[in-house]
Amino acid sequence: MGSTPEEIASSWREQMRRGYLNLAILFVLTKGPLHGYEMMKRISEWTLGMITPTAGGLYPTLNRLEREGLIRGEWKLKERRKVYRITEKGREVFRKAVERHFKLASSIRRWFFKELADLKLVEEIDVPSVMEPAIRVLLLKEDASREERIEALENLRERFETLSLLLSKMTEQIRLRIEELKSSQRSRP
């Protein structure tokens, strides 16, 4: 028969977790060389605790990324730890993966809001990517100047303010739709 829906969903979650861990490792290494323990701390900090790798998950991933030529590890015998650096191939893979992620996220966002509009839960709206432009500067443009980074963060703040207004409108429309459904339920014999 095969796997249960829960087993399949669990497998997918694990695949996504591994994919995001790969990206997180490559990202923190774009900021400079790190040993494993420091990498775990940085990943947790940078992802605001969304990804909190354990040694049991991190080191096999580091070994695989090293075999694939995306990172390079070097033993520091004096400190008795291995320090990892991202390679040029790793930087290119990171850039391509982030670009593809943006395309996928944008498609999902458009589909999601179209479905909500089709269900009459929200008005037909074109929801701009909130984070994409800022993330492109902050993650992908390593040589960005301080002014470019400040501008990216200011734009991100403005987009979040716009998104906040949009979410308030959507919340109100959902509330109205719920009231409409409840009142139509009460009017039935």
Q: In angstroms, rounded to a whole number, what is the distance separating the alpha carbons of residues 15 and 13?
A: 5
Count how many domains the chain has: 2
Q: In angstroms, rounded to a whole number, what is the distance separating the alpha carbons of residues 70 and 26?
A: 8
How many alpha carbons lie under 13 Å from residue 120 in its C-beta half-sphere? 5
Q: At which of 86, 115, 150 does a domain end? A: 86
Answer yes or no: do 69 and 152 share one domain. no
Per residue in 38-52, pLDDT (tens digit) is 999 999 888 778 888
* Residue that wins the pLDDT comparison between 65 and 141: 65
CB 166 within 8 A of CB 125: yes
* The total number of residues written for the chain in this structure: 189
Share of the chain above pLDDT 70, in %: 84
Answer yes or no: do 70 and 124 share one domain. no
